[in-house]
Structure 1
Amino acid sequence: MIPTDHSLPYLEFHAFQGTSVQAIRPRVPHHFSPAEVDRALAGLLDQLLIITGARLPVLWFYTPQMWSFARHVAASAVVYDCMDELSSFRFAPADLRANERALMAAADVVFTGGYSLYEAKRDQHHNIHPFPSSVDAAHFAAARKAVADPADQAPISGPRLGYYGVIDERLDFDLLAAAAKARPDWQIVMVGPVSKVDPATLPQAPNLHWLGQKSYDQLPAYLAGWDVALMPFAINEATRHISPTKTLEYLASGRQVVSTPVRDVVRHYSDVRALRIAEDAAGFIAACDYLLAQRDAHAKWLPQVDRLLTSYSWDATFRKMDDLITEAVAERSLPQATFDRVDA
């Protein structure tokens, strides 16, 4: 292995052995040039394949930035799981679009994280399929029962309106500030890591609480203490094609939801009684007022939510993806699985 003093936090290798998964984070010296990084990562990937005994693996990419050092691997199939329009995000790498074109050309099958993203990409590949977010309903349904309040949330009075997720340029911080100012009796709880924005620029108010990142296992406990769940997304280039996983997670927890008009949210959930969509800050605040008044009327909307959840399980998504990958493997012949090797 290469001596390390610098981590590449956005890169992970995942090796599947039977029913187990190994996540390996490669590290390379910080002084390496981009070309040296690619060569080092290619070598580390080769070592991983030798150690695990993997032959003709399925290569599954969540980012085009990994294609440059993995393109030489003989694969039974190449999958591009395009979860976001990464080129629209702040600080996107300059070579991301070129890398995506190369990965698209090599991929046997492409998945997109929702229909809006599918519509933007469907002319770029012959075998592309939309997969809107799914949900582990049982995990989040724990929030419907009495759950001990997390220590950092317990001192916060109610009513509580909450958000969890990455706190970055996709959020409408002006909207949050306006809501906190207009309703000083509300307590707005923000859970998640801050990324690509200066924490010092986040809006501050006595009733606006930034609690930081929590684990997936902790989320139901936070949700259980909220009266309304929030999706205060800015409507911009970074959110044009998102399909927020948290929509279904919030609903599975038994929380009502207020969202800004994210395209895929409007497309899939505008007829859900437990969810309101608001165009601006005034509408967002009014929608929260309405749902707070309805918070004890679960019988009016929970049956519709539960029927909806049966159509969006991760198990069903896995089965569909697995079928498509199996077809891709069957269609690919061995000579097609060999790519030009990265220079050593």
Structure 2
Amino acid sequence: MNRIEQPSPEKSPQSTAQFDGVICFGGVDWWYHNRGHYDLQMMREFSRRVPVLYVNSIGMKAPKVGEGAMFLTRVKRKLKSLFRGLVPVRENFSVFSPATLPGGGSGWFSALIAKWTLALQVKYAAWRSGIKRPLVWVACPPAQIVVDSLNPIKVVYQRTDRFEDFAGVNPRRIKEFDVLLKQRADTVLFCARELFEAEKTQNPGSLFVDHGVDFDHFEKAGVAYDTFKTEPEDLAGISHPRVGFIGGIDAHTFDPQLFIDVAVALPDVSFIMIGACSLPENWCPLENVYFLGQRPYEKVAEYMAASDILIMPWNQSDWIKACNPVKMKEYLAVGRPVVSTYFPEVEFFKDHIAVARTEADFVEEVRKYLKAPGDAESRRNRVKDHTWASKAEQVFRSVM
């Protein structure tokens, strides 16, 4: 039987003291994931005030051989990340890749080993980063096992998704981590209203702060394309009209059948796909669909800008119902028309996003925007006040 050590539900005795840095157990890996994620953006902003140690994701599940080529990809990139160790990537911001067991270990003994080995590594990295009185920020629930070992001044639990609904995890174990973190945290941070309303009573420090956007960066890309029509070289041979999707192409978020149906119905449209794909090989052999792979965060805005329409073809899973995708505001900041399937958070931006509930609706909305794209400046204005700096300031004030 799995066993998780039960921490005291009381807050840190030092909770009224001031932290001198942040140890963030990230939900992604700095070295190979998109850097637009909530935790990475928040840590970038926090590093303007205090030192930040970003601990690359320790994982909620172990890779499985049955994943085929994706198994080897996951293992190779994680090993490459581990060998980097502790790296200062900018002033006041260091990234660390610890060696540990994914998911916090699968049994009581492995969990104990995972706890102490992880604690020793992170304490050393924090010391090297000049952090002695940390605020511990948890965006990856298995990090719960080590929180108290770090003697935190305060604890923030980033509940930005229903982590227990993530594909391939042990939902009971992840939910146990979730419960314990809500008992322990000074602040539980939500970015989707649906999830906040459902769970806000589970911690007195529950706080809703939705995603921000690098507004200047994405606006600049949209304006530059509109003015000069400059675009990434690998788009030169891909004709307009173009429909773009930027992000992970994964079964727990992306609806492959919907996408295929839409692409088949629009044979004269070029579909540009930017991002890693974990779906089976050759899942979409259509000639009007172009898979260009991952691009650096600094470059994705250029691909958005070079598209005529941007899409979010999500499935209708519990994961999606509780999500608030970062790309929604990035799309709007670029200024392009957006077509999406329904999810609760899109309600708050439906004045500038076309919401499709069926494949036929999706196709029709794309056709409408191809004929009349609407006002780019209006879309940008809708999100110009949603900067990451303003979001981080709100969180920083709440945890001081």
Which category of TM-score, normalised to the shorter sequence, fits these structures?
0.7 to 0.9
Residue 120 of structure 1 and its aligned partner are, at CA, apart by 2.3
Aligned position for 1:24: 96
Task: Write the distance in 1 (CA, Å) between the matches of 2:246 and 2:29.
Answer: 23
Describe how 1:264-343 pairs up with structure 2 within 5 A: 264-266=345-347, 268-272=348-352, 275-295=353-373, 297=374, 301-326=375-400
Please tell me whether the aligned partners of residues 254 and 314 of structure 2 are also in contact (alpha carbons under 8 angstroms). Answer: yes
Q: One-letter code of the match for 1:160? A: R
TM-score, normalising length: structure 2? 0.72
Any stretches of 5+ residues in structure 1 without a counterpart?
Answer: 1-7, 327-344
Task: Write the distance in 2 (CA, Å) between the matches of 1:144 and 1:53.
Answer: 41
Please tell me whether the aligned partners of residues 192 and 211 of structure 1 are also in contact (alpha carbons under 8 angstroms). Answer: yes
Q: One-letter code of the match for 1:60? A: W
Q: Percent same amino acid at aligned positions?
A: 25
Give the counterpart of 1:143 among 190, 198, 222: 222
Decide whether aligned partners of structure 1 residues 63 and 147 sit closer, same or farther in structure 2, where only a CA change above 3 A counts. farther
Give the counterpart of 1:63 among 108, 133, 140: 140
Give the counterpart of 1:72 among 149, 174, 179: 149
For residues 133-165 of structure 1, the C-alpha deviation after alignment (integer angstroms, 9 at most, x for no partner) is 211111011222135322322211111000101
Aligned position for 2:300: 219
For residues 269-304 of structure 1, the C-alpha deviation after alignment (integer angstroms, 9 at most, x for no partner) is 1122xx211101000000000001013x4xxx3343
Please tell me whether the aligned partners of residues 156 and 187 of structure 1 are also in contact (alpha carbons under 8 angstroms). Answer: yes
Q: One-letter code of the match for 1:222? A: Y
Give the counterpart of 2:249 among 164, 167, 178: 167
Task: Write the distance in 2 (CA, Å) between the matches of 1:85 and 1:210.
Answer: 29
Aligned residues: 310
Decide whether aligned partners of structure 1 residues 115 and 224 sit closer, same or farther in structure 2, where only a CA change above 3 A counts. same
Q: One-letter code of the match for 1:270? A: K
Decide whether aligned partners of structure 1 residues 310 and 224 sit closer, same or farther in structure 2, where only a CA change above 3 A counts. closer
Aligned position for 1:183: 266
Query: Is residue 131 of structure 2 the alignment partner of residue 131 of structure 1?
Result: no
* Root mean square deviation of aligned Cα: 2.4
For residues 10-56 of structure 1, the C-alpha deviation after alignment (integer angstroms, 9 at most, x for no partner) is 57898852852111111259999443222211110121233334222
Q: Could you list the runs of 4 or more consecutive aligned residues of structure 1 that deviate by over 3 angstroms after TM superposition?
A: 8-16, 28-35
Give the counterpart of 2:286 among 201, 205, 220: 205
Task: Write the distance in 2 (CA, Å) between the matches of 1:320 and 1:10.
Answer: 23
TM-score, normalising length: structure 1? 0.84
Please tell me whether the aligned partners of residues 188 and 207 of structure 1 are also in contact (alpha carbons under 8 angstroms). Answer: yes
